[in-house]
């Protein structure tokens, strides 16, 4: 099969399209014929070696941890799926990934693809969608009437978080550049904020929840925007407990694991027409380098998809 692999950590020149043997599955695995994969910042961070002390890998490594496709084979202990089922998954990040024609995925890491999603949309949803759901629902316990600030609302996690928060009945404030203000409104944002226009403290009234997808200075500015006992949930930088206490607030950091439970919740929102993944760029296995460069630019609206096979 064809797969994009790295033999060592480094720049985009380490990405090589190879012909390799298809993965062998364990008893609790399904083998998925990959239709589409998705590019996330964690892909190029792993490629560059930023996470090697946190997640040690054997080389060569196939990148990519978003996938949609069709079940081609099932392990002897698999009961949920059968050959021919259409599935999607954010598979375990410590195994070879989805920039390939086939991927082995544990049964409990996969879910049936909603018929309302094509394969590209399904591949765009798992990692960013699980992240947004876990931040908002599992950690922040978002409720109807909450005021939620979502940074970088036009991005991969942000555009899904806006839709999830709205589905939960929250009032959503979201930041983006001037060029993306209209998109924030289209996604359902109640207050679209141009972060270049004025300090955030001059534009945003106190909120119950902050979803931090930026870290650094943006995170530091966000503490002052929280109501007492509000919570800042970051997917980038571990919030400082002392800083949180000084603002009478709470902080949390999210690094997700696979979750078929959350995939089912996301499917429900899709079925109710409350959630739609946005895809700005499509690439192929042959153009993965360009896909990584696009992701690293930080200027993508929604998600980047790699179309591996014809749908």
What confidence tens digit (pLDDT) does each residue in 252-279 have? 999 999 999 999 999 999 999 999 999 9
Is 0.95 surpassed by the pTM of this model? yes
Half-sphere exposure of 303 (CA within 13 A, CB side): 27
133 shares its domain with 249: yes
Averaged confidence pLDDT in the chain: 97
Q: What is the pLDDT of residue 62?
A: 98
139 shares its domain with 100: no
Asked if residue 147 belongs to a domain, the reply is yes
Asked if residue 258 belongs to a domain, the reply is no
Is the pLDDT assigned to residue 154 strictly greater than 80?
Answer: yes
167 shares its domain with 197: yes
222 shares its domain with 109: no
Distance CA 193, CA 158 (A): 13
Asked if residue 271 belongs to a domain, the reply is no
Name every residue whose Cβ is closer than 8 Å to that of residue 219 and which is 6 or more positions away in sequence.
212, 232, 234, 236, 237, 239
Last residue of one domain, picked from the residues 237, 253, 269: 253
9 shares its domain with 119: yes
Q: What's the CATH code of the domain at 197?
A: 3.40.50.720
213 shares its domain with 168: yes
Domain count, the chain: 2
Asked if residue 260 belongs to a domain, the reply is no
119 shares its domain with 133: no
Distance CA 203, CA 183 (A): 19
Asked if residue 299 belongs to a domain, the reply is yes
77 phi/psi in degrees, rounded to 5: -100, 5
Task: Please name the helix (run of DSSP H) or strand (run of DSSP E) that holds residue 280, with its range, or none.
Answer: strand 279-283
Q: What's the CATH code of the domain at 43?
A: 3.90.180.10
Tell me the residue range of the domain where 41 lies. Answer: 2-125+277-307
pLDDT digits (tens, 9 = 90+) for 225-236: 999 999 999 999
Q: What is the pLDDT of residue 181?
A: 97
Distance CA 292, CA 195 (A): 26
139 shares its domain with 249: yes
153 shares its domain with 50: no
pLDDT digits (tens, 9 = 90+) for 73-130: 999 999 999 999 999 999 999 999 999 999 999 999 999 999 999 999 999 999 999 9
Asked if residue 272 belongs to a domain, the reply is no
Name every residue whose Cβ is closer than 8 Å to that of residue 242 and which is 6 or more positions away in sequence.
none
pLDDT digits (tens, 9 = 90+) for 19-64: 999 999 999 999 999 999 999 999 999 999 999 988 889 999 999 9
Is the pLDDT assigned to residue 221 strictly greater than 80?
Answer: yes
First to last CA, the chain: 18
Q: Which pairs with CB-CB distance under 8 Å and at least 24 residues apart come from 168-171?
A: 168/136, 168/137, 168/142, 168/143, 168/144, 169/143, 169/144, 169/145, 170/142, 170/143, 170/144, 170/145, 170/146, 170/209, 171/145, 171/146, 171/147
32 shares its domain with 119: yes
Q: What is the pLDDT of residue 5?
A: 98
149 shares its domain with 43: no
Choose the weakest-confidence range: 53-57, 129-133, 168-172, 284-288.
53-57
Asked if residue 269 belongs to a domain, the reply is no
Last residue of one domain, picked from the residues 253, 269, 295: 253
pLDDT digits (tens, 9 = 90+) for 182-218: 999 999 999 999 999 999 999 999 999 999 999 999 9
Asked if residue 261 belongs to a domain, the reply is no
Compute CA 113 distance to the chain's CA centroid, rounded to the nearest angstrom.
16
Strands 86-89 and 67-74: antiparallel
Distance CA 276, CA 224 (A): 32
Is the pLDDT assigned to residue 311 strictly greater than 80?
Answer: no
100 shares its domain with 150: no
User: Using an 8 Å Cβ cutoff, are 47 and 292 in contact?
Assistant: yes
């Amino acid at each position: 099969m064809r797969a994009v692999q790295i033999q060592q950590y480094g720049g985009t020149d380490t990405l090589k399209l190879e012909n390799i043997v298809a993965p062998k599955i364990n008893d609790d695995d399904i083998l998925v014929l990959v239709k589409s994969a998705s590019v996330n910042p964690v892909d190029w961070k792993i490629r560059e070696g930023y996470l090697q002390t946190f997640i040690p890998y054997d080389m060569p490594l196939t990148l990519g941890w978003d996938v949609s496709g069709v079940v081609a084979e099932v392990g002897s202990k698999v009961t949920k799926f059968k050959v021919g089922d259409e599935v999607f998954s954010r598979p375990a990040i410590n195994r070879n990934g989805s920039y390939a024609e086939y991927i082995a995925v544990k049964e409990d890491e996969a879910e049936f693809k909603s018929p309302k999603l094509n394969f590209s949309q399904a591949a765009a949803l798992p990692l960013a969608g699980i992240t947004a759901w876990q931040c908002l629902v599992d950690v922040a316990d978002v409720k109807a009437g909450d005021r939620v600030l979502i940074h970088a609302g036009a991005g991969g996690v942000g555009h899904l978080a806006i839709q999830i928060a709205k589905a939960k009945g929250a009032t959503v404030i979201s930041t983006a550049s001037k060029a993306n203000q209209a998109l924030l409104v289209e996604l359902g944002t109640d207050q679209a904020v141009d972060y270049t226009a004025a300090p955030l403290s001059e534009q945003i009234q106190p909120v119950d929840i902050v979803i931090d997808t930026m870290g650094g200075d943006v995170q530091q500015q966000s503490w002052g925007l929280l109501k007492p006992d509000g919570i800042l949930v970051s997917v980038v930088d571990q919030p400082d407990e002392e800083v949180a206490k000084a603002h009478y607030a709470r902080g949390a950091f999210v690094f997700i694991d696979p979750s078929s439970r959350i995939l089912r919740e996301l499917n429900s929102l899709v079925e109710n027409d409350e959630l739609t993944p946005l895809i700005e760029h499509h690439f192929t296995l042959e153009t993965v380098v360009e896909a990584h460069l696009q992701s690293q630019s930080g200027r993508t609206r929604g998600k980047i998809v790699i179309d591996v096979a014809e749908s």
